[in-house]
């Protein structure tokens, strides 16, 4: 099966399973999504959704967040991991939004990536889910799935993102990103599938017998 054929098989299967793709992180606007995505680094969305109510009760906009004490934020977000770094980043980026961006999250990838604690993946999520711009954020799980499914030979998330963008039209990127996340959690997790178990893996490679070793 050619790579384009595998891509089409995957696309059809995901669209059949996930007709709607609700955003898994609870938020109300671009700022709260930005903070939630920042918190989700090396942390589950479930855990993030458990801590953000208290955090956003303390401050749910950049003007209020910029005035908060880093230690108080740290106490709230500690269960998310990397809390010292994340708490400082949340206060710092809030101050920058107030001082340099008229208290608004910029609708610009380059400007988002300049904010403390905001990498390419976080910026891509905000651009796609808050502003509707085509983006294809790739984390380690999507990277691993794309390798299992034969959509990329990339050794890192940067190359995998490029390969996925070449395979799928921009109008599908935002929804497909979430569909892959949902499918990975439900059917093709690190423990649940090694490239030989789930329906997509078996559909793409019906003769595969050995587990897939991910290139990081």
Q: Mind telling me the catalytic residues? A: 121, 139
Residue 31's SS3 state is: helix
Determine contact, residues 40/72, Cβ cutoff 8 Å: no
Q: From the CB of residue 12, how many other CB atoms can be counted at a distance below 10 Å? A: 11
DSSP letter string over 81-93?
SSHHHHHHHHHHH
Exposed, middle or buried: residue 16 (CB in 10 Å: 0-12, 13-18, 19+)? exposed
Residues 6+ apart with CB under 8 A from 41: 82, 86, 122
HSE-up (13 A, CA, CB side) for residue 135: 20
Residue 42's SS3 state is: coil
Residues 6+ apart with CB under 8 A from 134: 128, 170, 171, 173, 174
Determine contact, residues 164/138, Cβ cutoff 8 Å: yes
What are the backbone dihedrals phi and psi of residue 171, each rounded to the nearest 5 degrees, phi first?
Answer: -65, -10
């Amino acid at each position: 099966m050619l790579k384009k054929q595998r891509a089409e098989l995957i696309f059809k299967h995901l669209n059949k399973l996930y007709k709607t793709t609700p955003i898994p992180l609870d938020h109300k606007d671009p700022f709260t999504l930005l903070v939630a995505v920042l918190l989700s680094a090396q942390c589950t969305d479930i855990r993030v959704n458990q801590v953000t109510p208290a955090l956003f009760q303390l401050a749910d906009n950049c003007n209020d967040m910029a005035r908060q004490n880093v230690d108080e934020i740290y106490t709230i977000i500690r269960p998310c991991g990397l809390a010292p770094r994340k708490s400082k980043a949340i206060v710092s980026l809030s101050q920058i939004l107030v001082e340099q961006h008229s208290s608004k999250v910029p609708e610009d990838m380059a400007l988002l990536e300049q904010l403390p604690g905001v990498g390419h993946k976080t910026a891509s999520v905000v651009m796609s889910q808050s502003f509707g711009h085509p983006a294809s954020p790739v984390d380690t799980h999507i990277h691993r799935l794309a390798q299992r499914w034969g959509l990329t030979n990339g050794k890192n998330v940067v190359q995998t993102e490029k390969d996925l963008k070449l395979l799928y039209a921009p109008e599908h990127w935002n929804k497909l990103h979430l569909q892959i996340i949902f499918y990975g959690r439900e059917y093709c997790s690190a423990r649940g599938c090694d490239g030989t178990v789930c329906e997509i893996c078996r559909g793409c490679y019906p003769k595969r017998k050995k587990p897939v070793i991910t290139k990081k």
